[in-house]
């Protein structure tokens, strides 16, 4: 921004703009609001912008305001012809015109898009960068079969990031693996709002239901199945027992056999149970991906 031929007041305005907008925008997303005291729409928009700035503070969003009457030169530089005019700034440049977004929902939607596209740094992003490798370590330990150690790891991560669904889900699945299904259920039941709907929480709930499969002696069902391969009730009971014993390969085989023979049996119970197993395993799990391919081959060929 040019500074030649400006008076002292204008020079101070430029310095404020540099301090309040340009410098913070090097790492943060700055929402710049051009307003005036006499502007009714500006007063209506102000509390919306204040709330958004507060809600997104930990994600690196800051709010700056330019009074177009006090800082006419700054407003002129941006060719502000009507107010409120609102821009988003990052790394010293305007990256979006937010003027036409007036509701909280509209503004949050576009800010979420910007934060997904720009390397904005805030406390939430810093925490995510710190926590992500720790979550990966916890998942690796759990995958290796050391549920007690994984529970300890996820508990420590939760102290750092208490509302992270990936952490809570990992902790619950570790509890399940350590034989603490009741504690895992209590943890999951304590969640509310959007957190309770997160995919990582749904995965943990699926794992809890899979773990709840009853252990049983199914020798009678095996005899029934040997006599009648279409005894789906017996085969389903065997699948449940295999699941309870931790033999998910055998459980999957039995469930897929039911689906192959009668996919609608018992209102699709075998398919529902199979999908529950896949959800518990996680979308990226190699075993789960292989089983999905087997299911697809049955359903679509």
Helix (H, G, I), strand (E, B) or coil at 7: coil
CA 278, 280, 283, 287 torsion-angle sign: negative
Helix (H, G, I), strand (E, B) or coil at 64: strand
**29, 39, 86, 277: the active-site residue:** 39
Helix (H, G, I), strand (E, B) or coil at 233: helix
Residue 115 CA: distances (Å) to CA of 60, 83, 90, 276 = 9, 25, 10, 33
Tokens of 296: 């697809």
Strands 93-97 and 85-90: antiparallel
What is the distance between the alpha carbons of residues 36 and 217, in angstroms, rounded to a whole number? 78
Residue 261 CA: distances (Å) to CA of 103, 113, 254 = 54, 47, 11
Q: Is 64 a catalytic residue?
A: no
* DSSP per-residue letters across 188-200: HHT--GGGGGSHH
**29, 32, 42, 210: the active-site residue:** 42
Q: Is 39 a catalytic residue?
A: yes
What is the distance between the alpha carbons of residues 160 and 152, in angstroms, rounded to a whole number? 13
Active site residues: 39, 42
């Amino acid at each position: 921004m040019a500074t030649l031929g400006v008076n002292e007041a204008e020079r101070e305005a430029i310095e404020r703009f540099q301090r309040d907008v340009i410098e913070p925008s090097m790492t943060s997303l700055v929402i710049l609001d051009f307003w005036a005291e006499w502007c009714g729409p500006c007063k209506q928009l102000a509390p919306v912008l204040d709330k958004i700035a507060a809600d997104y503070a930990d994600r690196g969003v800051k709010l700056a305001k330019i009074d177009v009457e006090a800082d006419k030169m700054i407003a002129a530089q941006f060719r502000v012809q009507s107010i409120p005019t609102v821009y988003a700034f990052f790394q010293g440049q305007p990256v979006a015109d937010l003027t036409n977004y007036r509701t909280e929902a509209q503004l949050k939607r576009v800010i979420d898009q910007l934060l997904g596209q720009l390397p904005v740094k805030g406390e939430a992003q810093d925490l995510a960068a710190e926590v992500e490798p720790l979550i990966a370590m916890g998942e690796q330990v759990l995958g290796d079969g050391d549920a007690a150690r994984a529970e300890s790891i996820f508990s420590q991560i939760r102290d750092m990031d208490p509302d992270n669904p990936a952490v809570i889900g990992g902790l619950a699945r570790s509890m399940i693996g350590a034989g603490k299904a009741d504690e895992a259920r209590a943890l999951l039941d304590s969640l509310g709002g959007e957190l309770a709907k997160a995919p990582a929480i749904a995965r943990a709930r699926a794992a809890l239901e899979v773990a709840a499969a009853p252990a049983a002696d199914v020798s009678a069902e095996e005899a029934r199945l040997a006599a009648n391969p279409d005894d789906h009730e017996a085969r389903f009971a065997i699948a449940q027992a295999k699941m309870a014993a931790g033999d998910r390969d055998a459980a999957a085989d039995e469930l897929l056999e039911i689906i192959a023979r009668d996919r609608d049996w018992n209102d699709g119970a075998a398919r529902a149970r199979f999908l529950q197993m896949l959800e518990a395993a996680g979308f990226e799990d190699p075993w789960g991906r292989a089983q999905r391919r087997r299911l697809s081959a049955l359903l679509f060929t």
